[in-house]
Chains A and B, each alone.
Chain A
Amino acid sequence: MFEAASLEERKRYYREEWKVDDLPEFITEELNKREFGFDHLGKGPNDRYKIFKNKDQLRKFLRYRSPFAAYCSVAFYNKPWKRGDWQKSELVFDVDAKDLPVRSCNCEGVCEICLNEALLIVKDILDTLKGDLGLKNIHVIYSGRGYHIRVLDPEIMQFDSDVRAQVLKYVSGAENPKNKYFLGPEQGQKPYELEHFTIPLGYPSVFTSRMKYVILHLTGEESIENVNPRLLKDVIKNRHLLEEDQWGLFKNKIGPIRYKKLVEGISKLNMGLIDAKVSIDLKRILRLPSSLHSKVSMRCMEVQNLEKFDPIKKAVPKFVLERKEV
C-alpha cells in the first residue's frame, strides 16, 4: 500500500478500471472552460495549457497516455488554452495528511491514522463553511494523500485572493481571537474581557474547535511559536480537561500569561492545517478526481458519504489489491 505505480499499472488502471463516468459532474459540466495539466514522467506537471472540448476527448487522452498524474484548473476561462479571460474559480481547501502540523502517527508519508485525522479536520471545516458561512455546492475529494474541499457556490467564485485569504483564516482558526470587547462606541470605557471559549458562536467558536483539535492531537514533539517545551508539556498534562470542555480550569492550570502565548501559537500553527497557497491561487491546477495518484497508487475520487468513507476500502485500485495477492 502507498507505493508508487509502475507505467504498466498506470496503463492497466486507465484501460481497465477507470471510466469516463467516474469524472464528477462538477468537472464535466464546463469541461471546455478548464485548463488541464499532466505529469507524464513523475517530475511535476509540465504538460499544461491542455484543453478538452468534451468528455470523450479527455477519455481518449487518458486511455492513450496513462499519465503519471492528471490535473485540471480550479479556474474557468473563456480562453483556457492560454489561461486567458478568467471568469471565476472554485474556492479550494487542501488538507494534506502528510503536511499536517499536528499528527499523532509521526509516519514518514501518509498512513491510515493521519488520513483519518485529515478527515476530522475536513469535517470541521465543512461545518464552518456550511453552518457559519452558508456556502453550498461543496464537494470533498479524496486526493490520494489527503482531501480537497472544492466550493463551487456562485456567491464566492469571483472573489479575489484577498477575500479567499480571509475565508481561509476564518475556517482554519488562523486569526488570533480578540479577548477584549467594548460595550459601546463611547471612548474611554473599560473593555469587557471574554475568552474565545466563553463565546459559543461566530469566529471565537470556530477557533475554540480548532484549538481543541490541535491540543488533543499533540504528541509533544511539535514546535509551536511562543510555546516552550515546558508549556507544551503542561498543555499535554492538562488536556484531559478539554475533553469535557473545561476550558476555564484548563486556562487556570496553564496560567493567564502562558495561555495567551498558547492561543497565539496555535493560531499561527492553524494556518498549516490547510495549504494556504492552494486556497488563494486563482489559477491553480488540482489533481483530477477519478485519476490515479501514482506516487501512492491511490485513486483520487469524490467522497459521497463522509461518515462512511474509508480510503483503504474505496480508493485502492484493483492492481494494488492484486499486487498484494502476489
Chain B
Amino acid sequence: MVLLSFLNPFSEEAEQIVREKSSLEELFNKNKDLIDIIAHTNSQNISNDELIPHTLAELAVKRLEWFVRKKNDKKYDHNDYSFLMNPDMAIYDIISFYIAAQSIGIRFNPNSRESRVFIESQGQLVQERLEKLSTSLRKEVVAKLLNQLIPLDNISWTSLGELFGSRKINLTDLIIDQGEVILDKEDFIYRFSDKIIGRVPEKMYDILIGDQIKELIINRMIMQNTENYLLKVHEMASNIEAHPSLIVIADEISKMLKERTSIFSGSGDIQASKLVGEAFPPCIKNTIDGVSSGNRNDAIVLLLTSFISYARLYPSVFKNETNLKISDLDKGLKITNNEILPVIYEAAGRCTPPLFEDDPQEKLNITAKLGFGVHRVPDLNNEGESKWYTPMSCEKIKIHLPVLCKPDKDCKKISNPLSYYNRRKWIMNQSPDSKSPEEKDKSTKKED
C-alpha cells in the first residue's frame, strides 16, 4: 500500500522505493511523469509555471516552501500546492523527502531553522494527508500506520520519552495504565469497564482515545523519526564527503527560507526596538537585580538570555511563529554585542556570588542559548550549532524559578514574559506622558 509510505517515509516499503528508484544523478533532470501527475492533480493551479516543480530537487524545496507560506503568507493559496496531497505522487514524494532530509542533514545543524522547518512540515503534511482520506480509509490507514510504528499491542509511556521531552505530546493527553499507553479498544474495555459507571465503555473509549490519540501519536512519531534521521545524517556527514547535488539543494532550501522569512518577519505589528527596562515583567526585573545561588544559573542562562535577545530583536516571535536566526535580524551582531550581551553579563555580575567568577563556563552556555553553539562569544561562523531559545513561559518559570515569579496585576493577562513586555510597551506608547526613553529620545535627536 503505497499510501502508507506517502504518510510514513520510514516504512520498509518507502526505504525500498528510495533504494530502487532514486538516483543522485537525476535530481536536476526534468521529470515528465512528475510534471504530468502534478498538472493532472485535482484543483492544482497550473496558470503559472513556477508553481510546478519540474525536477525532484525542486519538489524537495517546494515541500518546505508550502509549509512556510501556509503558516505566514496571507496570499497563500492551497491550490498552488494541491499536488502535495495527491497520493499518485507517493513515489516522487518519498524520494523528495529523502533528498530534502539528506541535504539539510549534511549542510545544517540539527537545531538549525532548516531542520526545524523540515520536521514541522513533515508533521503538517501527515496531518493534512490523513484529513483528505475518507473516514473508513482513514481508520484503516491509521491502524496500519500504528502497526508500522509500534509493532507491539501496547507501548510503555516511557518509550515515548523523546516525544514528551521535545514537547511534541503531553503525558496528560494519554490514557495510561500500569505504565502502558492504552490504544486498543478491547484492552480499554477489559481494563476499565468495571470502573465506568453510567456510561457505555465503548463510547468512553471513542471519546477519550479513539482515532484522535492514535493520529497524534503517529504524527509525533513521524516527526521524531524525521528529527532522528536528520541527526544521523548530520553525524555521518562529518565522515563522508557529501554529493555536490545535495549541497546545492541545501543552499536552495536555505535561500528560499531566508527570502520567505524576511518577507514575513516584517509583517507583525510588534516592531523590534531598543530595550525599555520599565516594561520588563517582575521576573525579569528581579533577575536583572541579581539572583543568589540556587536559582542564579537558570535565571541568567535560561530566562534572561532568551528574554533579552528576543525582546530586543524579535519581540513578535510568538505572533509570527516563524523561526529566525539572530543574524536574520542583526546581520553583523552589532546589537547582540553592544546591547544584548552587556545586559546579560551585567546581571550575571550582580548575582551572589557573581556568576562568571563561580561558573565561568556559563558564558559558553549563554552563547549556546543564542544559537551560536558552545563558544565563548557569538560568532556568525558558529550560528546554528545550537538553537536560539525562545523565552520561557510563565508556567515554566513557576517550575524552574518560582522565587523570581512575583506576579503583578498585569501578569494575570499573559502567559509569557515577552507578551508582558510587548503589552506594557504598547500601553506606554499610548500615553504621551509615559513614552519610552527611546521614543522621547527620538523626538529630540536622530539615532546614529
Contacts and interface: CB of A to CB of B under 8 A. Distances in A.
Given A131-B178, A166-B170, A186-B135, A155 B208 contact: no
B443 to A, nearest CB: 41
Nearest to A207: B172
B156 A177 contact: no
Interface in A161-202: 162-163, 165-170, 175, 177, 181-187, 192, 194, 198-202
B177 A162 contact: no
B26 interface: no
B399 A185 contact: no
B210 A184 contact: yes
Interface residues of A, number: 38
A200 B197 contact: yes
Given A134-B157, A200-B197, 20 more contacts: A133-B157, A135-B179, A159-B158, A160-B165, A162-B165, A165-B396, A165-B399, A166-B171, A170-B171, A185-B131, A185-B138, A185-B212, A192-B207, A200-B196, A201-B192, A201-B195, A203-B174, A276-B400, A276-B402, A280-B400
A134 B156 contact: yes
Nearest to A154: B158
18 contacts: A131-B178, A132-B179, A133-B179, A134-B157, A134-B178, A135-B179, A156-B158, A156-B161, A162-B165, A181-B207, A181-B208, A185-B131, A185-B210, A201-B195, A271-B399, A276-B398, A277-B399, A277-B402
Interface string B156-174: 1110010011110011101
Interface in B122-143: 130-131, 135, 138
Shortest 4 CB-CB contacts between residues of A and residues of B? A134-B179, A202-B175, A155-B158, A203-B172
Contacts of A185: 130-131, 138, 210-212, 215
Contacts of A165: 396, 399
Contacts of A159: 158, 161, 165
B165 A175 contact: no
Q: Classify chain B: how many residues form its interface, as a range.
A: 35 or more
A135 to B, nearest CB: 7
Contacts of B380: none
B399 A168 contact: yes
A178 to B, nearest CB: 8
Given A167-B171, A183-B207, A184-B210, A202 B179 contact: no
Contacts of A277: 399-400, 402
B292 to A, nearest CB: 10
Contacts of A202: 174-177, 208
Interface in A127-166: 131-135, 155-156, 159-160, 162-163, 165-166
